[in-house]
Amino acid sequence: MADVALGKKFLGQPVERVEDEILLMGKAQYSDHLPTRAGTQHAAILRSPHAHAKIISIDTTRAENIPGVTAVMTGDDVKEMSEAFLIVLRQPINQWALAVEKVRYVGEPVAIVVARNRYIAEDALAEIDVTYEAMKPAVDQEEAILDDAPIVHEAVGSNVVSTRDFTYGDPDDAFAAADKVVKMKIRYPRNSQTPLEGFVVTADYHQGENLYDVASNYQGPFTSHPVMSMALRVKNSQLRMRTPQWSGGGFGIKVQIFPYVVLICLASKKVGKPVKWVEDKLEHLSAAAAAPNRLIKMEAAVKNDGTVTGFRFDQQDDYGAFLRAPMPGPLYRMHGILTGAYDIKNLSVTNRVVMTNKCPSAMVRGFGGPQMYYGIERIMHKVATELGMDPLDVIRKNLVPAGVFPYRAAAGALIDSGDYPGAVERAVKEGALEDLKKRRDEMRAAGKKYGIGYAAIVEPAQSNMGYLSNILPRDERQRNPKGGAVANATVNVDPLGTVSVTADSIPQGQGHMTILSQIVADVLGLTPDQIKVNLDFDTAKDAWSIATGNYSSRFSSATTVACLKAAEKVKAKLARIASQTLNVPADQLEFVDGKIRDPSNPENGINFYRAAGSAHWTPGNLPDEMEPCVRETGSWSPPELESPNEKDQINTSLTYGFVFDFCGIEVDEDTGEVKIDKYVTMHDSGTLLNPLLADGQVHGAFAWAIGCALYEEFVYGDDGSFLTGTFADYLVPTAWEVPEPQIVHMESPSMLTPLGAKGIAEGNCMSTPVCLANAVADALDVEDITLPMTPTRISAMIHGEEKPPNNDKPAVTIPVKGEGNVLRGTGETFVPAEPLEVWNTLLDPKALAAVIPGCHALDLIGDNSYEADVSLGVGPVRGRFKANVGLTEMVEPKKATLSGGLIGPLGASQGSGHVFLEAADDGTKVSYDYAIELTGTVASVGGRLLEGAAKALVKQFFQRLGAQVGGRPVSGGEPWWRNLLRSLGLLK
């Protein structure tokens, strides 16, 4: 075991990180800092404002004519130069790096501009004219599966692109024999951990070699590497991927850089120069990736004593507009462990993959676990409620018992080690659950809404590369079986005896360098600061495989083992060299404090560097047949990761940790706020390689889970418009919202990895949202809980739905097509002129042009219908729009109806309104109402700004109308959005 192989001087200790110094000094070079060749061009991407529309035409002429623009590419170019991305399912779901023929979600890339700098490239986006024909979108996952729903991929013919049924044990029997069947319908929202650093890709096409040289903060898995090279129509070795060792967070999301890698590669090929692209936050939030939202219909077969004898799952995941590899992973990554922490033998599962007109889903920390456990742990809570039992007793009753490991779960997971009941009791004791229960009683006696929640989950790590095979029918997957997960690391000792390490782990901030240095230091009898770890990664030079990358918590159970193996090879080689001089058998030598020596006679030793040096300086003196130099690569794939068997059982991951959480929360009845009073989280993640870093992973997962439970959700309007495009709309918890949880550890070493370590970075993403939801269910005595539990939702549960305030109601109800982001308003103003004069101004194109804020030109294009070119903006975004406005239902000079739309690179809007003119002393009272529906960027970023912006804009229009009619033609003045920004304090 680990303890024997290693001195364990550093491993297992809270060693401070070797990464920190350079990071704290601000000297780390992230992707955006990597050097680029002179002449490197910069890209900006035009994105769809529509959720679903046909692309009728794209005119790039004006954009191409802007000085500094090198090229503009559209879907047609991309289709000609590349293949559609390979996907896991055998379905005609074709995606290229730019939209071809139609757009399927707001934010989908439609065209790319390459220019001398990013600023010019973005300017040029505004000059691309795309004509769309809007189609009805499929937005809600439950509506998307109905017969008359709009189809996202016509060639498939349905939005349900995969349905697979699985049965383990005898669920029918279990349900027939149950005392009670408990049912639940559960929804899990769309969210993402949104790393602070966005995607960065620099691609340099080398014509002579037909090679793409790419630097990017891509995080793997490198299963996507062949997807990219095939799309680019080159051999794998002609796509050189380099990833820097410094990355501003990944959390799974950075696998989704791969379509952009292909796009930027194509752009570089087209312009014959390197091209760089840096994603901005709006692009990230709207179009990078989201964990799929899931609908689960769940049933539990229950005995009166609380024993659960069977589960039925009907899981439906919403993958958005495309299935990018490795999708639909979240539905299958947890498959082997679908019974969670419980000893349940009977299980039936239906997995459905649904497409909608939303951002494509992807890997996000937790990867299917948060969704699945939200189902399991909510229903366990409900079982307790229905039986009148304590939820913890129901958990205890059903846990996989101690002493049965390795334990084969119903759907195939081979759980390596643990003591679940022991872990629960330890957490109960160390976390003082009894005191918490007393506190609940006291709080409730004082009239407070206080609840306690529990969650017990199994946390998998190091995915089996064959986990997705279960989506294919048995015969098909048997023809091409997949399984395993290879990890690689290399240890090198140079001529002066200094040690360096490389590995294929592609870190995103976890501290891999530190842990690898701890391992190698222990094996070679050195100190971590003597080990130089460099985790820059290069497919052209490093050992790698499809499993390479940073995901599914694979580092601690896989990369570390490869590194251990490499270090042990180095040790064996140096021991043989030393044994020649020391006259002691190699396997009896010890490596201590920079020396290789005879443990029974420590005086008989040589320096580590001297032994290593001889492999470089005097290779002729090496033992027989020994190769010179000291450079060893360790590669490892655990044999336990097999492809699915004939019963559809699959061991989806290598190691399985255990997490048990409980918490106390108070719901503020007035505000609807959920206050976390106490949170205890117990982790058995096998051997802890570095407790300081392990706790860091728990804290990070916990904080994101707080976001998932209480704040974070990607919100779409009914028309598919994306409504959470800034960090002011997509709310991320700050230091104020995240309490410190009490962490309890237990260590049951994994018997399947030589170091005994399991994953620890994802557990709380799975346990915490549902633990908090159970606590709220307990506090409010409600069943149906929708995440995130925002104050609005909680208030609605306590007080009923909030009614919109009266004064916001329009005088006349104006119908709108969908309910995307709809702004409604009313107002009135006084104009010191006769109604007829006002009327005539409204009908005079010249006068109207002067009145409309930001209007550059206005033409009469038909009877009372106008086309205008206007500049508008909200908050940080601003753009030029084409407006079409028509006047109807005209009663001179009393009233008229205005209707029309705006379209521009930032989005589209449709709206209508009424104007009423009424003679009042010495002038006209003008009253109006309006309803405006928005899509595209403006809808995404505006949340909290738009309402005010629209009001200001409309008001300004009528003020200017007043001024115009009153004979004081409006001067240029400042655009309305400047006033708005000023009032929001964003502009001086």
- Which residues are at the interface with ligand FES (CB under 6 A)? 196, 249, 509
Judged by CB, which is closer to ligand FES: 510, or 655? 510
Least distance from C-beta 436 to ligand FES, angstroms?
A: 31
Residue 526 dihedral angles phi and psi, to the nearest 5°: -115, -170
Least distance from C-beta 155 to other proteins, angstroms?
A: 38
Least distance from C-beta 638 to other proteins, angstroms?
A: 27
Q: Does 876 bind other proteins (CB under 8 A)?
A: yes
Least distance from C-beta 941 to other proteins, angstroms?
A: 8
**Minimal CA–CA distance to 262: which of 106, 130, 109, 116?**
109
Least distance from C-beta 956 to other proteins, angstroms?
A: 24
Count of residues that bind other proteins according to CB under 8 A: 56
Least distance from C-beta 527 to other proteins, angstroms?
A: 17
Least distance from C-beta 529 to ligand FES, angstroms?
A: 22
Binding part of the chain for other proteins, among 52-60, 246-254, 885-893, 900-908 by CB under 8 A, reads 246-254
Q: Does 129 bind other proteins (CB under 8 A)?
A: no
Judged by CB, which is closer to ligand FES: 196, or 812? 196
Given its phi and psi angles, is residue 957 left (phi above 0), alpha (psi -120 to 50 degrees) or beta? alpha
Q: Does 450 bind other proteins (CB under 8 A)?
A: no
Instruction: Collect all residues with Cβ–Cβ distance below 8 Å to 4 and sequence separation of at least 6.
Output: none
Judged by CB, which is closer to ligand FES: 99, or 200? 200
Residue 147 contacts which entry, ligand FES, other proteins, none (Cβ below 5-8 A, type-dependent): none
Residue 511 contacts which entry, other proteins, ligand FES, none (Cβ below 5-8 A, type-dependent): other proteins
Query: What does the alpha-carbon distance between residue 567 and residue 634 come to, in Å, rounded to a whole number?
Result: 8
Least distance from C-beta 446 to other proteins, angstroms?
A: 23
Query: What does the alpha-carbon distance between residue 407 and residue 412 come to, in Å, rounded to a whole number?
Result: 9
Judged by CB, which is closer to other proteins: 732, or 860? 732
**How does 907-919 read in b/e, with b if 16+ C-beta sit within 10 Å?**
bbbbbbbbbbbee
Residue 986 contacts which entry, ligand FES, other proteins, none (Cβ below 5-8 A, type-dependent): other proteins
Query: What does the alpha-carbon distance between residue 712 and residue 371 come to, in Å, rounded to a whole number?
Result: 14
Least distance from C-beta 457 to other proteins, angstroms?
A: 18
CB-based contact 727:659 (threshold 8 Å): no
Q: Does 727 bind other proteins (CB under 8 A)?
A: yes
Least distance from C-beta 761 to other proteins, angstroms?
A: 10
Tell me the β-bridge partners of 458: 658
Q: Does 798 bind other proteins (CB under 8 A)?
A: no
Distance of CA 755 to the CA centre of its chain: 30
The helix (H) or strand (E) run that includes residue 288 is none
Least distance from C-beta 35 to other proteins, angstroms?
A: 10
What is the secondary structure of 656-694 as a DSSP string?
EEEEEEEEEEEE-TTT--EEEEEEEEEEE-BS-S-HHHH
Judged by CB, which is closer to ligand FES: 249, or 810? 249
Judged by CB, which is closer to ligand FES: 27, or 206? 27
Residue 508 contacts which entry, ligand FES, other proteins, none (Cβ below 5-8 A, type-dependent): other proteins
**Minimal CA–CA distance to 761: which of 564, 411, 508?**
508
Q: Does 702 bind other proteins (CB under 8 A)?
A: yes
Least distance from C-beta 723 to other proteins, angstroms?
A: 16
Residue 702 contacts which entry, other proteins, ligand FES, none (Cβ below 5-8 A, type-dependent): other proteins
Q: Does 529 bind other proteins (CB under 8 A)?
A: no
Tokens of 513: 């360098």
Which amino acid is residue 942, in one-letter code?
G
What is the secondary structure of 488-540 as a DSSP string?
EEEEEE-TT--EEEEES---SSS-HHHHHHHHHHHHHT--GGGEEE---EETT
Binding part of the chain for other proteins, among 18-26, 286-294, 656-664, 829-837 by CB under 8 A, reads 18-26
Query: What does the alpha-carbon distance between residue 325 and residue 854 come to, in Å, rounded to a whole number?
Result: 45
Rg from Cα positions in the chain: 31
Residues in the chain: 988
Return the residue of 137, 368, 412, 700 that touches other proteins, per CB under 8 A: 700
Q: Does 703 bind other proteins (CB under 8 A)?
A: yes
Angle between helices 433-445 and 420-430 (to 10 degrees): 60
Judged by CB, which is closer to ligand FES: 22, or 857? 22
Which amino acid is residue 744, in one-letter code?
V
Return the residue of 170, 280, 386, 947 that touches other proteins, per CB under 8 A: 280
Judged by CB, which is closer to ligand FES: 28, or 592? 28
The residue whose two tokens read 């074709």 is 94
Burial category of 777 from C-beta neighbours within 10 Å (exposed 0-12, middle 13-18, buried 19 and up) = buried
Q: Does 39 bind other proteins (CB under 8 A)?
A: no
Q: Does 38 bind other proteins (CB under 8 A)?
A: no
Residue 695 contacts which entry, other proteins, ligand FES, none (Cβ below 5-8 A, type-dependent): other proteins
Long-range contacts of 794-799 (CB under 8 A, 24+ apart): 794/667, 794/672, 794/673, 794/674, 795/671, 795/672, 796/672, 798/449, 798/667, 798/669, 798/672
Strands 41-47 and 275-278 come out as parallel
- Residue numbers at the binding site for other proteins (CB under 8 A): 16-17, 19-21, 23-30, 32-33, 119, 193-197, 246-249, 251, 280-281, 508-511, 692-693, 695-696, 698-704, 726-728, 732, 734-738, 740, 875-876, 986
